[in-house]
C-alpha cells in the first residue's frame, strides 16, 4: 500500500509539468526520439532530456536501446494506477456522503421531535 | 459509474441532500461537524486545525478502527463563497503539518508534494441542496493547467486501447 502511494506520488509529480504532459501526449501518438520530442519546444536537448528522465523514473515512458536513436515510448501502467487512485478516493467520498445523509436525517428528526414537543406544550 | 464522471485525473460526484444549503455549508466548514461524516468507513477523523479563510490551513488526522496509526493530511483554503463554493488543497503531511514530498518519503530528490484539490459547489434547489464535488489529482491552477486534462484523458484512452486483453 505504501509503495503504491509512493509510486502514485511520483506519477503525479511527473505529471505536474505542462512540458512533460505535452511529451506524453506526443508519445500517445507513437514513439519518438529525443530530438523529435524537443522540436515543438523552445528548449535545449539537455533540458528536454531532464524531463524525459523524470518521466522515465516515474515509469511513464521507456527508452529503447536501439543505438543512437533510442526512441521513447509511453508506458501506460502508471496512468492506470492514476485511475485506480481516483477510484479509491471516489469510494471514500461516497462512503462519507452516505454518512452525511444519515447525519442529516438524524438532525432532521431531532428537529421534528423538538417542533412536536413545542406544539404539545402549546396545547 | 457513468462515462461522463470517469475523468482520468479527478473524481466527480453529484449528490442532492435533504437539507438547506447553509446546513451543508456548515457540515463542510465547521471543525466539530466535519469529522461526523468525513472519512473512510469506520475511521475516526480528528480535526486539529480548520481555519476557513482564504489562505487558512487545514490539518487533520484519521485513525483506522484499531487506532494503530495516524494518517495526517493538511491543506489550504483557496476559495470561500459561503453556501456556494469551497476550494481547498489536500495533501499527505506529518503531524506538524509539513507537506510530505517525494524526497521526504525517501523517493529521490523531487521536492514536489503530492497535492490534490477539492472543489465543492453547492446550490439550493427547493429547500434541498445539490452538491457537486470534484477531487482532482493535480490542482487546477498548476502551471500550464489549461488543456492538460484533455491531454491526460487522451493518454488514458490510449492506455485503455492498448491494454485490451489479447483475444
Work out the minimum CA distance from B156 to partner chain A, whole angstroms: 6
Q: How much is the pLDDT for B20?
A: 95
Q: How far is CA A1 from CA A5, A7, A8, in A?
A: 6, 10, 11
Q: Would you state the CATH architecture of domain B3-162?
A: 2-Layer Sandwich (3.30)
ipTM of the complex: 0.74
At a CB cut-off of 8 Å and minimum separation 6, what does A28 contact? Answer: A74, B154, B155, B158
Q: Within 10 Å of residue B72's Cβ, how many Cβ atoms?
A: 20
Candidates A4, A5, A81, A104, partner chain B, best to mutate (most B CBs within 10 A): A104
Show residues of chain B in contact with A108, CB under 8 Å: 18-19
Q: How much is the pLDDT for B33?
A: 95
Q: Given pLDDT bands bounded at 50, 70 and 90, which one contains residue A51?
A: very high
Please choose, from the candidates A20, B154, A33, the residue with its C-alpha nearest in 3D space to the C-alpha of residue B162: B154
Show residues of chain A in contact with B143, CB under 8 Å: 17-18
Question: Do A21 and B152 count as a contact with CB atoms less than 8 A apart?
Answer: yes
Does residue A50 belong to the interface with chain B, where contact is any CB pair within 8 Å?
A: no
Say which residue, A25 or A83, is predicted with more confidence: A25
Q: What predicted TM-score, i.e. pTM, was given to this entire model?
A: 0.65
Work out the minimum CA distance from A66 to partner chain B, whole angstroms: 23
Question: Do B156 and A82 count as a contact with CB atoms less than 8 A apart?
Answer: yes
Average confidence (pLDDT) per 10 residues, chain B, 167 residues: 47 92 96 94 93 97 89 93 95 82 47 74 95 76 46 58 47
Domain boundaries of chain B, sorted by first residue: 3-162
Amino acid at each position: 500500500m505504501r509503495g503504491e502511494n509512493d509510486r502514485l506520488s511520483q506519477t503525479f509529480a511527473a505529471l505536474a509539468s505542462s512540458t512533460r504532459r505535452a511529451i506524453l501526449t506526443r508519445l500517445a501518438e507513437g514513439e519518438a526520439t529525443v530530438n523529435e520530442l524537443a522540436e515543438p519546444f523552445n528548449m535545449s536537448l539537455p533540458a528536454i532530456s531532464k524531463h524525459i528522465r523524470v518521466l522515465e523514473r516515474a515509469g511513464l515512458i521507456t527508452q529503447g536501446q536501439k543505438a543512437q536513436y533510442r526512441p521513447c515510448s509511453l508506458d501506460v501502467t502508471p496512468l492506470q494506477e492514476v485511475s485506480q487512485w481516483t477510484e479509491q478516493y471516489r469510494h471514500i467520498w461516497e462512503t462519507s456522503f452516505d454518512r452525511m445523509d444519515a447525519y442529516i436525517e438524524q438532525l432532521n428528526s431531532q428537529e421534528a421531535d423538538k417542533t412536536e414537543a413545542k406544539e404539545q406544550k402549546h396545547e | 459509474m457513468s462515462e461522463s464522471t470517469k475523468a482520468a485525473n479527478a473524481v466527480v460526484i453529484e449528490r442532492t441532500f435533504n437539507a438547506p444549503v447553509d446546513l451543508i455549508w456548515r457540515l463542510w466548514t465547521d471543525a466539530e461537524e466535519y469529522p461526523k461524516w468525513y472519512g473512510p468507513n469506520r475511521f475516526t477523523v480528528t480535526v486539529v486545525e480548520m481555519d476557513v479563510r482564504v489562505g487558512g490551513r487545514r490539518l487533520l488526522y484519521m485513525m483506522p478502527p484499531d487506532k494503530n496509526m495516524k494518517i495526517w493530511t493538511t491543506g489550504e483554503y483557496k476559495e470561500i463563497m459561503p453556501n456556494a463554493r469551497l476550494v481547498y488543497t489536500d495533501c499527505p503531511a506529518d503531524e506538524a503539518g509539513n507537506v510530505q514530498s517525494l524526497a521526504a518519503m525517501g523517493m529521490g530528490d523531487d521536492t514536489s508534494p503530492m497535492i490534490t484539490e477539492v472543489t465543492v459547489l453547492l446550490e439550493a434547489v427547493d429547500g434541498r441542496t445539490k452538491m457537486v464535488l470534484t477531487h482532482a489529482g493535480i490542482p487546477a491552477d498548476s502551471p500550464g493547467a489549461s488543456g492538460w486534462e484533455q491531454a491526460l484523458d487522451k493518454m488514458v484512452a490510449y492506455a485503455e486501447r492498448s491494454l485490451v486483453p489479447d483475444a
